[in-house]
C-alpha cells in the first residue's frame, strides 16, 4: 500500500455547503479539516433568516443531503426553522462541531509557498487546501433612500428580524417584492393592524401549494428508509426535469410555468385595479421565480395596501412616496435582498503573484466550472460564480461540487500532485461557451434582476442541472496548471 500524505483543509462557512464538504472529507477518512464560522451556530442562510413565513421554494424531500434524506418534514415545502434544525441535527450526528471554530471570521487568505495562510482576529494558520463555502445570498443589501436614519420606529432587514417586537398591533411597511417580501406579506396580511407593501416592480407568482404531510406518511418513511430514498429521487426528477429546464430552454415546461403564473393572477385577484398593480411587465421566470400559495389572498385582506408610487424619502412618522403621500408606520422592514456577487467578500483572498481575487474579478466574478479560479491554486469554491442556483436545488449542487473538490484532494493526498489551478485559457473558453448559450434562457428576455452581472448577462448556469453534474464528474487535467 502506498503511504498517503496528510492534507490539511480549511473550510470557510458552516452552512449547508460547508457541512457537506466536511462530511465528504470524513467519508474519505480525512479528519484534518477546520471549519471557520463567524457566527455561533451552523446553518448559514437558515440560521440568519427567521422572518415570518420563511419557507424554501424547493420541495422538502429534495432539500436534504442525498446521503441523509429526512423523513420528518412536516410540509411539501420545508419551513425555515425545520431546515435549520435539520442542519443542526446533521452536524451533531456527524460530530462536525468539534471541527468548527465558531465566532471566528477569516480576515484574509494568502497563498504562500505552496500553502494557504489564513488570518483571523485570533491567530494565523496554514493549510494545504482552501474551500470557500460562504453561500450565495448572505450579505444583506439595503436600499439607498433619503432619510432612512430618521425613522422613529424599529427598522431592520428581513435577514436580521427582531423577534422582540410585537407585530399584531403595528402598522408595518415592507419594502421589496422578491420571494422574501412576498412570503412576509403572505404571512402577515390580515393579521396586523396595517400592512403596506411598497412595490417597485410586480412579480409573477407560481401557485405552489404547501400541504402538510400526515403522521402516517412520516412514520412510513421513517420505518422504511427505501421509501424515503425513492421519495427523494421522485422529487429530484420533478425539480430537474420540470423547473430545472423551464428557464433555460423554450419548450413545454416553460409554457406550463408561464401559463400557470398568468392563470394564478387572473383567478386569484378579481379587482381589476389591484390586478393591474400586481401584473408584471416581464415574462414569468425572467427574475427568480416566486413560489407561493397564499400571497394573493393575503394581499386582498383588510388593512393591506399595495403601494406602487416610488418612495421619495423616509421621515420619522413613515414613508413618503413621490405623490406626496405620507404612509404612517410603526415598523419598517427591508426585504431588499442580498449582494448576489459577494461570494467570499469581505474576505481578502490573495493568490499567486500577490493578485487578489478582487483584482481577478475586476470585470465580474468568473470561475472554471463554478469551482475554481486561475492563479489561485488549491482553492475551491462551493456555490461559486455561475453555479446552477436559478434552476436546481442548492444541496445537490453543493454535493456535486464537493465531490469534484474531493477528487483533487485525493490526488494531493496520494502524492500525485502538489497543487492545481485552472488555466486562464480553459476558464475563458468555458465562460465564453456559457455566454453563447445564454440567449436561449428566459433570464435574458428583458427584465432587470439581481441575476445580471456587469456585462448585462445572467451570472447563472445556462444548461440543465444534469449538465453541471456531468461537467464536474471527471476533471479535465489539460484544463489545469498541475504541479
Each residue's pLDDT tens digit, 255-273: 999 999 999 999 999 999 9
Q: Residue 465: pLDDT band by 50, 70, 90 thresholds? A: very high
- Crossing angle between the packed helical segments 16-27 and 394-413, to the nearest 10 degrees: 40
Q: Residue 181: pLDDT band by 50, 70, 90 thresholds? A: very high
Number of domains, the chain = 2
Please check whether residues 407 and 372 belong to one and the same domain.
yes
Strand 100-102 relative to strand 33-37: parallel, antiparallel, unpaired? parallel
| Residue located via cell numbers 415546461 | 253
Please check whether residues 325 and 415 belong to one and the same domain.
no
Mean pLDDT of the 81-87 span: 98
Please check whether residues 427 and 369 belong to one and the same domain.
yes
Please check whether residues 185 and 318 belong to one and the same domain.
yes
**pLDDT beyond 60 at 1:** no
Residue 176 inside a domain? The answer is yes
Each residue's pLDDT tens digit, 129-159: 999 999 988 899 999 999 999 999 999 999 9
Q: 449 to each of 159, 339, 456, how far by Cα in Å?
A: 19, 12, 10
Cα separation, 393 vs 402, in Å, equals 15
* pTM metric for this prediction: 0.96
Domain coverage including residue 376: 9-42+96-139+339-482
Which domain-ending residue is among 304, 334, 364?
Answer: 334
Each residue's pLDDT tens digit, 212-243: 999 999 999 999 999 999 999 999 999 999 99
Please check whether residues 343 and 322 belong to one and the same domain.
no
Residue 67 inside a domain? The answer is no
Please check whether residues 297 and 370 belong to one and the same domain.
no
Question: What's the burial of 1, exposed, middle or buried (CB within 10 Å: 0-12/13-18/19+)?
Answer: exposed
**pLDDT beyond 90 at 462:** yes
The phi, psi pair for 473, rounded to 5°, reads: -65, -45
Peptide bond into 346 cis (omega under 30): yes
Mean model confidence pLDDT for the chain: 96
**pLDDT beyond 70 at 2:** no
Residue 76 inside a domain? The answer is no
Please check whether residues 265 and 399 belong to one and the same domain.
no
| DSSP codes, 147-209 | TGGG--S-EEEGGG--TTS--TT-EEEEE--SHHHHHHHHHHTTTSSEEEEE-SS---EEE--
> Are 158 and 331 spatial neighbours (Cβ–Cβ below 8 Å)?
no
Amino acid at each position: 500500500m502506498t503511504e498517503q500524505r496528510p492534507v490539511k483543509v480549511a473550510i470557510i462557512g458552516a452552512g449547508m455547503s460547508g457541512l457537506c464538504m466536511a462530511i465528504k472529507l470524513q467519508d474519505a477518512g480525512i479528519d484534518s479539516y477546520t471549519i471557520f464560522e463567524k457566527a455561533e451556530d451552523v446553518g448559514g442562510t437558515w440560521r440568519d433568516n427567521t422572518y415570518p413565513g420563511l419557507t424554501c421554494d424547493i420541495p422538502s424531500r429534495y432539500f436534504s443531503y442525498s446521503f441523509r434524506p429526512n423523513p420528518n418534514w412536516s410540509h411539501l415545502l420545508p419551513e425555515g426553522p425545520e431546515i435549520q434544525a435539520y442542519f443542526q441535527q446533521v452536524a451533531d450526528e456527524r460530530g462536525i462541531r468539534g471541527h468548527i471554530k465558531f465566532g471566528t471570521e477569516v480576515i484574509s487568505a494568502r497563498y504562500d509557498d505552496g500553502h494557504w495562510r489564513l488570518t483571523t482576529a485570533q491567530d494565523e494558520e496554514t493549510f494545504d487546501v482552501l474551500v470557500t463555502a460562504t453561500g450565495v445570498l448572505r450579505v444583506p443589501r439595503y436600499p439607498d433612500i433619503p432619510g432612512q436614519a430618521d425613522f422613529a420606529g424599529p427598522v431592520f432587514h428581513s435577514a436580521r428580524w427582531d423577534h422582540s417586537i410585537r407585530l399584531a398591533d403595528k402598522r408595518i411597511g415592507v419594502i421589496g417584492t422578491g420571494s422574501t417580501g412576498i412570503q412576509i406579506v403572505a404571512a402577515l396580511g390580515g393579521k396586523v393592524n396595517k400592512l403596506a407593501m411598497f412595490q417597485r416592480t410586480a412579480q409573477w407568482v407560481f401557485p405552489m401549494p404547501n400541504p402538510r404531510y400526515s403522521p402516517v406518511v412520516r412514520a412510513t418513511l421513517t420505518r422504511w428508509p427505501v421509501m424515503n430514498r425513492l421519495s427523494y429521487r421522485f422529487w429530484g426528477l420533478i425539480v430537474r426535469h420540470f423547473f430545472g429546464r423551464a428557464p433555460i430552454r423554450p419548450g413545454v415546461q416553460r409554457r406550463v410555468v408561464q401559463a400557470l403564473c398568468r392563470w394564478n393572477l387572473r383567478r386569484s385577484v378579481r379587482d381589476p385595479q389591484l390586478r393591474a398593480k400586481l401584473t408584471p411587465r416581464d415574462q414569468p421566470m425572467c427574475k427568480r421565480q416566486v413560489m407561493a400559495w397564499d400571497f394573493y389572498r393575503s394581499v386582498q385582506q383588510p388593512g393591506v395596501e399595495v403601494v406602487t408610487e416610488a418612495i421619495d424619502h423616509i421621515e420619522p412618522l413613515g414613508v413618503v412616496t413621490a405623490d406626496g403621500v405620507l404612509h404612517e408606520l410603526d415598523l419598517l422592514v427591508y426585504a431588499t435582498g442580498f449582494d448576489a456577487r459577494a461570494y467570499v467578500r469581505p474576505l481578502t483572498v490573495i493568490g499567486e503573484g500577490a493578485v487578489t481575487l478582487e483584482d481577478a474579478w475586476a470585470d465580474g466574478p468568473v470561475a472554471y466550472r463554478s469551482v475554481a479560479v486561475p492563479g489561485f491554486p488549491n482553492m475551491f469554491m462551493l456555490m461559486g460564480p455561475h453555479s446552477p442556483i436559478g434552476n436546481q436545488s442548492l444541496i445537490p449542487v453543493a454535493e456535486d461540487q464537493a465531490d469534484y473538490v474531493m477528487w483533487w484532494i485525493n490526488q494531493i493526498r496520494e502524492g500525485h500532485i502538489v497543487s492545481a489551478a485552472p488555466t486562464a485559457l480553459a476558464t475563458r473558453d468555458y465562460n465564453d461557451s456559457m455566454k453563447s448559450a445564454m440567449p436561449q434562457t428566459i433570464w435574458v428576455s428583458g427584465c432587470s434582476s439581481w441575476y445580471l452581472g456587469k456585462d448585462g448577462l445572467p451570472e447563472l448556469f445556462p444548461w440543465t442541472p444534469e449538465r453541471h453534474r456531468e461537467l464536474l464528474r471527471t476533471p479535465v487535467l489539460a484544463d489545469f496548471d498541475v504541479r
